[in-house]
């Protein structure tokens, strides 16, 4: 797994399919902040096949004008889920 500690993202980011899940570590959140006008909004691009696991009290937060591009394929879906599916209380994906 690839651990994500969180932070504020103010530029474009691509989440590549590395063949292993991305794990949002407990207590950390990625936040995509809008800077300037709509043309300057950050873009989060998620490649097909990416799996994101969210631990308790962590998630991905995108402000209103930020852009998210996540297009999976039938044989390579993008998955957002709780790390512990028996306790799915992660914040997950907030827009």
Distances (CA, A) of 14 to 11, 26, 47, 84, 89: 10, 22, 7, 25, 26
**pLDDT, position 49:** 97
Residue 73: pLDDT band (50, 70, 90) is very high
70 in Cβ contact with 79 (< 8 Å): no
- Mean pLDDT along residues 49-61: 81
54 in Cβ contact with 26 (< 8 Å): no
Q: Say which residues have a Cβ less than 8 Å from residue 39's Cβ, sequence separation at least 6.
A: none
- Mean pLDDT along residues 66-80: 90
């Amino acid at each position: 797994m690839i651990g994500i500690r969180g932070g504020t993202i103010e530029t474009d980011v691509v989440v590549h399919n590395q063949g292993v899940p991305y794990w949002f570590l407990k207590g950390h959140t990625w936040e995509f902040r809008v800077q300037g006008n709509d043309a300057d909004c950050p873009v989060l691009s998620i490649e097909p096949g990416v799996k994101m696991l969210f631990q308790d009290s962590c998630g991905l937060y995108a402000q209103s004008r930020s852009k998210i591009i996540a297009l999976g394929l039938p044989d390579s879906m993008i998955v957002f889920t709780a790390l512990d599916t028996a306790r799915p209380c992660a914040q997950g994906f907030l827009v």
